[in-house]
A = this chain, B = another copy of it.
């Protein structure tokens, strides 16, 4: 399993905010009960997203969370990295120096895997997910 609940829960929450974009703040309680995620835990995940500038909050009665930018401007990669850290398959790619030549053969593989992942998460926007979802919903309604 590549993604922990941090990334999975966080992406679900971000998607929910994207669905409600432009419709005022969505409360923590609403999200956590809809997706069956612990309220306090989700709060911590959303705090990370807020600190990195992806979401904004409104305090007080009728407050809640909302995307700080358009869903078309936030990629899945931004959300996942904010929550999980850099998505590298190996230390080798994020600092560790390869002294032994032969190790580099495995490094090539890790680089390819990383490219494969980044290719997906950096080219998919929350807006795409919303579109995709409404398509699926229309199909289901038929």
Contact = CB atoms under 8 A, between A and B. Distances in A.
A35 interface: yes
B117 A76 contact: no
B120 A116 contact: yes
Interface in A21-71: 34-35
Count of this chain's copies in the oligomeric assembly: 2
Interface residues of A, number: 47
Given A35-B100, A116-B120, A2 B105 contact: no
A86 B105 CA distance: 23
A8 interface: yes
B116 A16 contact: no
A90 B8 contact: yes
A11 B41 CA distance: 35
A103 interface: yes
Nearest to A102: B133
Contacts of A119: 116
A97 to B, nearest CB: 12
Given A2-B87, A87-B2, A133 B104 contact: yes
5 contacts: A11-B109, A101-B140, A105-B136, A112-B124, A113-B121
Interface of A: 1-3, 8, 11-12, 15-16, 19, 34-35, 76, 85-92, 94, 100-106, 108-110, 112-113, 115-117, 119-121, 124, 129-130, 132-133, 136-137, 140
